[in-house]
Amino acid sequence: MGKISNEQKLTNLFFEQTSDAIFFVDANQEIINKNKAAERLLAEHHVKIQDFIDFCVICKGYTSINDEKTCHDCFIKRRERGEAFQIFVKHKEKGEIPYSASFTLMDAEQGIGVLSLRNLTEQQETAELLQKKTLTKYVMNAHEAERKKLSRELHDGLAQEMYSALMEVRKLKYMEKGLTFNEQMEGIESFISTILDDIRNMAVELRPSALDDLGLFSALKSYCKRYEQIFGVQVALISNVHHERFSSAIETMLYRVAQESLTNAAKYADVDEIIVTLRKRDNTLLLEIIDEGCGFSTEDIEIKGTGLGLMNMQERVELLGGKCTIHSEIGNGTQISVLIPIS
């Protein structure tokens, strides 16, 4: 026998001592060799070696860049070299264990390749914890922003109007009844009527009662009418959904998306008309808000405002399994489309 070189010794040592599970597999995914870490992986997953036909027995299928947890377009079956990808390996006690995988084709003629797996459980738990902290911080900041907005509206709007009404009432104490007194009373009545309108508008902004009592279409119809009165912009509401009800989460999300889109259009679009479409198609709902205003660059949403409204809009939709697309070009208007499953 020939003498084993130091490089070969190091290679063999690495193969046996590494914590990564390494499998040599043929063209049929049958294992022809494995290291100790791979043997431990098989033992932990309670797979008997005589029953282990190919790696597909324990792979949950996360090897495609197009779909989640699928065997479609698998890197291993295609015998293709590639970047690291993630798969899930079935464990009888712990469920699905995440692994970072890499596949290298060693012999193209024989179809022999090397599959290396690294356990990502700890990294994934850390990432999930970080994501939860980030989400908590985001929600807290959003709540504080809403409280700040409400506080400013109460202080600068309602409080000032109430103070003016109070001053007018105090004047009445020193006035004799007559024409001037009656005019003063009419002024106070007008003040109070304005205050009541502001309170109703604030209540609708926070949570419209029509959304809970009558449904999404009625709430949108009512909001569009108020929008026209406030901003002087015509809103054409087109829908094949009228009295049908959907889940509270879906109705609230679509209402907020429409509200945010119309508010942005009033601030930045500079248009006279906006088209809002709400349609049900099979098991999906489609909401579209279209204006032919000045538009903006979707690559730089922070040009006007903070961009948080658009980001929040997309996050709301994605949380319910929907898709939100924003098409806009400077000078060519904006189209916001939301497709949400309702099955």
Instruction: Inform me whether the pLDDT recorded for 142 exceeds 90.
Output: no
Residue 302 backbone zone (phi > 0: left; psi -120 to 50: alpha; other: beta): alpha
Tell me the pLDDT tens digit for each residue of 266-285: 888 888 999 999 999 888 99
Please report which confidence band the pLDDT of residue 49 belongs to, taking 50, 70 and 90 as the band edges.
very low
Residue 1 inside a domain? The answer is no
pTM of the model: 0.53
* Strand pairing class (273-281; 234-239): parallel
Question: Does 112 share its domain with 234?
Answer: no
Question: In the chain, how many domains are there?
Answer: 3
At 53 the pLDDT is 43
Tokens at residue 40, please? 């431990």
What range does the domain containing 191 cover? 121-206
Question: Does 246 share its domain with 229?
Answer: yes
Tell me the pLDDT tens digit for each residue of 153-190: 777 777 777 777 778 777 777 777 766 777 777 778 88
At 82 the pLDDT is 59
Residue 262 inside a domain? The answer is yes
Please report which confidence band the pLDDT of residue 306 belongs to, taking 50, 70 and 90 as the band edges.
very low
Tell me the pLDDT tens digit for each residue of 313-342: 888 888 888 999 989 888 888 999 999 998
Instruction: Inform me whether the pLDDT recorded for 35 exceeds 70.
Output: yes
Tell me the pLDDT tens digit for each residue of 62-73: 555 555 566 666
Question: Does 230 share its domain with 130?
Answer: no
Q: How far apart are CA 324 and CA 307, in angstroms?
A: 15
Question: Does 239 share its domain with 199?
Answer: no
What values do phi and psi take at 277, rounded to 5? -120, 130
Question: Does 262 share its domain with 287?
Answer: yes
Q: How far apart are CA 200 and CA 208, in angstroms?
A: 9
**Average pLDDT over the chain, rounded to an integer:** 79
Question: Does 28 share its domain with 112?
Answer: yes
Please report which confidence band the pLDDT of residue 303 belongs to, taking 50, 70 and 90 as the band edges.
very low
